[in-house]
Amino acid sequence: MTSIEKLNEVLKSLKDTFVGKNEIIDLLGISLIARENAFLLGPPGTAKSAIVRALSNKIDEGKNFEYLLTRFTEPNEIFGPFDIRKLKEGELVTNTNGMMPEASMVFLDEIFNANSAILNSLLMALNEKIFRRGKETRKLPALMFVGASNVLPEDEALNALLDRFLVRIKCDYVDPDLLHEVLLAGWKLENNAAAESLTVSAEEVKALQAASRRVSLNNIRLQYVDVVHSLRNTGIKVSDRRAVKLQNLIAASALMCGREEAILSDLWVLKYIWDTEEQIEVLEGIINAVIEKDEAPNAHPQAVFNKTPNPEELIKEVQHLNEKWLQEGLSFEEKNIIKDKLRYLQSRCDWVKNNEQKQYIGKEIETLWQKILQTI
């Protein structure tokens, strides 16, 4: 069995254990191969910690580091204390045994509780995979960093921390229809009755990370450039640095499917680069419109997973946007958000199967567009 087959088996076993979390697990697998950091946003009880912990335990020979940050977390708790013996000799050397600088998988829960004492060191670790403290500088062996939080940051300094996580994943409670399966899987997990499955070694993951850098993006380079321009025009920030790094995710999607060349549908990963929750639907609309044109075989499962929209939910969203537009004192940015969401709903309307419902929703959307145009 090849390394990529092993990793796919590992991810499959996690999906069997964590019902309704396929999207999150697939994205963590993509981030692992791309060696890019992933951020999980969601309320308590959505299995964020459990999924990351389970994935970490599937990597043999790797050291895991997990920590819940508070406002009072000190550098020693993350990076390790100073070596007392060396300190007596006048040297400032950190004893990193069992701490983050030696870990292959790092999970930092409630990461936006990070205070100024650890912020700069964390930023360097996340961005450059380097630990620096005083005269000490060492490369980190981390295969991937995962951060999690219940809320997005409001402080400008913490926004820099979010920027270090290339992939952003929204974690919600599972669909009520899947609750019975969730309870069964959760009961097995609580009683350690989950089936044993294949693991993958840290060295095999490193080999996959190296292999992903050799994936050819030539076939989709022009389309990718067009998408980046489109996102920037929509108001979604894609810096040159992020545009370069996002190629790693596209290549990882191809490699996960056993391909050495990327195809158009591999751009599905770009749906997860939002800065705010309002951008999630906008990104889905833009990227889905691009990847649905791809008819090439062997696409990633997440790329072909287009959710059929619920007509009732669509009309409620349109009515909600209509109410928001009629509010007084809307800022220029708020108006743009409403327009972007309306464009997204318009694209989703095309997926409604019932023609009468499609026409009704389409008329409501057109009416709102007329109101918007009258105020410009």
Determine the Cα–Cα distance for residues 187 and 124; give it in Å rounded to an integer.
40
Among 97-101, 144-148, 314-318, 329-333, which stretch is predicted with the lowest mean pLDDT?
329-333
Residues 153 and 16 in one domain: yes
Residues 242 and 183 in one domain: no
With respect to residue 95, please indicate whether it lies within any of the assigned structural domains. yes
Residues 103 and 133 in one domain: yes
With respect to residue 199, please indicate whether it lies within any of the assigned structural domains. no
With respect to residue 195, please indicate whether it lies within any of the assigned structural domains. no
With respect to residue 301, please indicate whether it lies within any of the assigned structural domains. no
Strands (E), 237-290: none
With respect to residue 203, please indicate whether it lies within any of the assigned structural domains. no
**pLDDT confidence band for 188 (50 / 70 / 90):** low
Residue that the structure tokens 């204390």 belong to: 81
Residues 363 and 252 in one domain: no
Residues 247 and 331 in one domain: no
Which parts of the chain fold into alpha helices (H)?
3-17, 22-34, 48-57, 75-79, 84-88, 116-128, 156-163, 179-190, 202-212, 221-234, 240-256, 278-291, 311-325, 332-349, 355-374
Domain end, chosen from 190, 222, 249, is at 190
Residues 64 and 177 in one domain: yes
User: Measured between alpha carbons, how far apart are the two ends of the chain, in Å?
Assistant: 60
Look up residue 318 and give its amino acid. V
With respect to residue 204, please indicate whether it lies within any of the assigned structural domains. no
User: 316: closest CA among 272, 374, 357?
Assistant: 357
Residue 308: DSSP 8-state = P
Averaged pLDDT, 76-97: 76
**pLDDT confidence band for 89 (50 / 70 / 90):** low
- CB-side exposure of 243: number of CA atoms within 13 Å? 17
Q: For residue 39, what are its two tokens? A: 């951020």
Q: Which of 42-46, 145-149, 284-288 has the highest mean pLDDT?
A: 145-149
* Number of other residues whose CB lies within 10 A of the CB of residue 201: 14
With respect to residue 306, please indicate whether it lies within any of the assigned structural domains. no
With respect to residue 296, please indicate whether it lies within any of the assigned structural domains. no
pLDDT per residue over 221-274, tens digit each? Answer: 999 999 999 999 998 999 999 999 999 999 999 999 999 999 999 999 999 999
Residues 222 and 339 in one domain: no
Range of the domain at 286: 213-291
Q: What is the pLDDT of residue 16?
A: 85
Residues 217 and 178 in one domain: no
User: What CATH number corresponds to the domain at position 77?
Assistant: 3.40.50.300
Residues 287 and 322 in one domain: no
Residues 82 and 130 in one domain: yes
Residues 57 and 129 in one domain: yes
Q: How would you classify residue 62: left for phi > 0, otherwise alpha for psi between -120 and 50, otherwise beta?
A: beta
Residues 135 and 243 in one domain: no
Number of domains making up the chain = 3
Residue 306 scores a pLDDT above 60: no
